[in-house]
Amino acid sequence: MKPLFVALALALATTSAVAAEVESHGPHPFNIHDLVMMDRVGDPQLSPDGRYALYTVRATDYAANKGVTSIYLLDLEKGGEPAKLVDKASDPRWAPDGSAFYYVAPKDGVAQLWRRPLGAGGKAADAQAVPVTHAPIDIDGYKLSPDGKKALLTFGVFTDCADLACTKGRLDARAADKASGTVYNKLFVRHWDTWADGRRAQLYITDLDSTEGQPVLLSRGIDGDVPSKPFGDDGEFSFSPDGKTVYFGARIAGKTEAWSTNFDVYTVPADGSAEPRNLTAANEAWDAFPVASPDGKTLYYLAMKTPVSEADRFGIMALDLATGQKREVAPNWDRSAGGLQISGDGKTLYATADDNGQHPLFAIDVASGKVTTLVTEGDVGAYALGKSRLLVQRDDLRRSADLYVADLHGKGLKQVTHYNASRLKSAQMGAPEFFTFNGWNNETVQGYVVKPANYKAGKKYPVAFIIHGGPQGAMSNGWSYRWNPQTYAGQGFAVVTINFHGSTGYGQAFTDSISGDWGGKPLEDLKAGWKAALGKYSFLDGDRACALGASYGGYMIYWIAGVWNEPWKCLVDHDGVFDARAMYYDTEELWFEERENGGPQYLHPENYEKFNPVNHVKDWRVPMLVVHSAKDFRIPDTQGLGAFTVLQRRGIPSQLLHFPDENHWVLKPQNSVQWHETVNAWLKQWTAPETAKSSSK
């Protein structure tokens, strides 16, 4: 292992090389430099008349080590080049009459809601944009009322404060205080990558035509976050069609927040004249994402049935607001729906879901529950629903996200943006192919391989065997900016990945089967999948293979290091669970640990020890790279430090890459480059023909 100062020098050299290389567009195998510099298209919004598309593009400012998001406009009738409307802004939304759009951008260092009129041909001048809020603290999210006169706003506030200014004053006072300690009385103490400071995300409403007065608090008495943390968005709150009622989802926190998934859907008058009322109190599992029917008589929402589960199937529920009667719209559809949208006539619901390695867009008939796939292959990351067309954000294993249009039946799908086209054209990629095999209990399991970018028939290639996280997730036909198979294919590796028991998109029983069996059925699937891949694809060099994984995939790396290390020349573990017992007491979302292991560790210690990697470290032998980050509160970095300690103490070749400024993911562009360069160097070191040969003796 190189001394630390040598590693630092190499890192600096790599950064300089990347800065010089990112503008290169000559033919070459796809690499991390291509990946980090790609423009990221998102948040598509269709104008009320269906002619224009608003959307965001996140570009990379490599020198500043961050992404910069801007808002663009595309005329879907005329085509041509999109027009950039606003720099350093997000969350574009159309005014209901299409005469203007709203967005979030800073004013004097505070995120505010802005309004910008659109002239003929969709043109808008910077001088026309005006802020419509003047809050003392950042707006975190918003949603316009159906008539465009009001807006729901979310702020992070101290709930005992009478107004937003009180929260601002308290934050300023804390910043000026020389004492840095914080006293906590309950969990969460920290969540995802943020330490709790006593604030809650709360829902307000404001009049957009008036600059006077305070926004009105709607989530009065709700000891919870609206939207939820850490990833909640405006899909968790909505208006009734007449704008007089607001619906939102929330979990009452109290003392149980860290071990509860009991989210409920609430209703509240839009004028704040009454406190919120719980509509789904009878269900102790997760209820969320309310959408009212166009006639205002029915509220549709998503609901799980299993308490303390975050990976149960989200079924589509219909609540008759007059009678309180509930029914499931498509009870036989064995997929977990994403956020809902509804057609103008109220007859059709739209949702995305994982499905056999894809993430399509579906239409669900409200009356019959019949489900129709509209956009099939690839990953539909977001979509906008118009009167006569769909605007879809879509990507796949060989293409980053772009926008497409289709009719409401998904017919005539046409690409309308072409971001990263030149970069993708010059970057050579590997061809993906899905395959199936008999896994645990002879049940069908799916995986895929990706050929190396420089593939030549008859030649064998080293293999990157990638194990996905979640564990209730999947490696699907989608583009990723973290674990992208093309970054390995571009380095000359073939990629193999398996959607083992526990993965999503294959039915709820398949997903549930991993709970209580982390090292059982999934390991059998991985073994069988590896054997099937070697038998089916002659270009895979089984003697030069490394296994890699993050989160649950990282857990599995530590697990196979002790119980299935024979095939591997090296291992790469990112943010994995090393000691299941310690993990229970160190993590933040206890409901996950308790669901997966049958309850708290102190009541069921045997369940936590059954598949605990720390109990098998005496059998570790394979060289391992450990990656962990200091702001990862989901799987704290002490897990990675413990594994590295074992590796060093036992004399096993090993490295530790530690990021002080990243969370469970590595997000900053230069950190991402360093991550990939370190991982790629590790793979190449141990799969080089001479290294592989000597290590097998």
Hey, which residues are catalytic here? 551, 632, 664
Q: 521-536 and 552-563 are packed helices; what angle lies between their axes, rounded to 10 degrees?
A: 80
Tokens of residue 255, six digits: 């003392």
Count of other CB atoms within 10 angstroms of residue 650: 12
Tokens of residue 643, six digits: 């594994």
d(CA 74, CA 82): 5
125: alpha, beta or left? (left if phi > 0; alpha if psi -120 to 50)? beta
* Cis peptide preceding 188, ω within 30 of 0: yes
Q: Which amino acid is at 333?
A: W
Contact of 335 with 341, CB cutoff 8 Å: no
Contact of 239 with 270, CB cutoff 8 Å: yes
Contact of 518 with 611, CB cutoff 8 Å: yes
Count of other CB atoms within 10 angstroms of residue 119: 10
Give the residue carrying structure tokens 């979030």. Answer: 104
d(CA 202, CA 186): 19
- Residue partners of 222: CB distance under 8 A and separation at least 6: 200, 202, 250, 252, 266, 276
Residue 201 CB-half CA count within 13 A: 23
Count of other CB atoms within 10 angstroms of residue 356: 16
Contact of 485 with 387, CB cutoff 8 Å: no
In terms of DSSP bridges, do strands 348-352 and 361-365 run parallel, antiparallel, or are they unpaired? antiparallel
d(CA 571, CA 620): 11
* Cis peptide preceding 636, ω within 30 of 0: no
Distance of CA 557 to the CA centre of its chain: 22
In terms of DSSP bridges, do strands 194-195 and 190-191 run parallel, antiparallel, or are they unpaired? antiparallel
d(CA 226, CA 249): 7
Identify the CA nearest to 449 among candidates 394, 385, 497.
497
- Residue partners of 601: CB distance under 8 A and separation at least 6: 581, 584, 585, 593, 608
Tokens of residue 392, six digits: 């879809």
Q: What is the dihedral of CA 524, 528, 529, 534, to 10 degrees?
A: 150
Identify the CA nearest to 229 among candidates 254, 250, 255, 260.
250
Contact of 559 with 523, CB cutoff 8 Å: yes
d(CA 687, CA 572): 13
Tokens of residue 328, six digits: 């499931």
Identify the CA nearest to 73 among candidates 103, 49, 45, 106.
45
